Amino acid sequence: MQRLLRLAAAPNSKASYIAEVDAVRKTARPELELDVEQHRGKLILQAASTQVQATATETLILTTLERIGLQETARSYRQVLIDLSEARRLSYRGTATELREVVREVLDHLAPDDQVTSTAGYKQQPGTDGPTMTQKARFILKARGLGESERKAPEQAVALLEEQIASLARSTYVKGAASTHSVTTLPTARTFKGFADAVLAELLQVHRE
């Protein structure tokens, strides 16, 4: 573009202009188009986020995620809120996947694999290559000194969420499986999120600040 400006500052042949424009098309245009699309996506996301009314618990989850340094996880959670506000969506499987990663990232942050596996009595579950989500949740709750009765409800919520996640993962690879359609409706996705919110609120202690 600078070369085009220099050409315009003095008499030059038409062919020289055409050569520079062709060069721009070949080299700069793809990058410029990518920048435009990325910027457009950011504007759409910003506009949508301003229209989503978060509940008190959702707001606490978002602010806590950002406070402990999980900014990307907070953005993923915000995306879930935006998705669930769009009643015109045909499928919410992507939303459920996003929510799965939010819970998994929180568990990984609060309960690193090496710390969980080094605790007394840890047993790796068959068919896994590391601690399960339920084991990580138990590790976190025990570390906070919660008794067995206090841990029961959140552990059950994590276990249920983990099973839902496993079912969703299986449906991705089994074509035509009934579970493929398990998270395609808005009510089902909201139920899925309800379990996740209960888990996140407990893990992040958002109501104990």
Average pLDDT of span 126-155: 81
User: Residue 199 pLDDT > 80, yes or no?
Assistant: yes
| Residues 6 or more apart whose Cβ sits within 8 Å of residue 174 | 180
Please, how many CA atoms are within 13 Å of residue 72, restricted to the half-sphere of its CB? 6
Q: What was the pLDDT predicted at 180? A: 42
Q: Which two tokens stand for residue 113?
A: 């694999």
Scanning the chain, the segments in alpha helix (DSSP H) are 2-8, 14-23, 29-51, 56-67, 71-84, 93-110, 113-117, 133-143, 148-173, 186-204
Q: What is the mean pLDDT of the chain?
A: 79
If DSSP codes are grouped into helix, strand and coil, which group holds residue 131? coil
Q: Which two tokens stand for residue 78?
A: 């915000």
Question: Model-level pTM?
Answer: 0.65
User: Residue 11 pLDDT > 60, yes or no?
Assistant: yes
- Per-residue exposure over 185-195, b if at least 16 CB sit within 10 Å of its own CB, e if not: ebeebeebbeb
> How many beta carbons lie within 10 A of that of residue 164, not counting itself?
21
For helices 93-110 and 133-143, angle between their N-to-C axes, nearest 10 degrees: 40
Identify whether the C-beta of residue 193 lies closer than 8 Å to the C-beta of residue 55: no
Alpha-carbon separation of residue 169 from 41, 164, 189 (angstroms): 27, 9, 15
Q: How does residue 105 score in pLDDT terms, banded at 50, 70 and 90?
A: very high
**Minimum mean pLDDT range among 25-34, 35-44, 143-152:** 35-44
Identify whether the C-beta of residue 206 lies closer than 8 Å to the C-beta of residue 191: no
Average pLDDT of span 96-113: 90
pLDDT digits (tens, 9 = 90+) for 31-81: 777 777 777 666 555 555 556 778 889 999 999 999 999 999 999 999 999
**Minimum mean pLDDT range among 25-34, 102-111, 112-121, 155-164:** 155-164
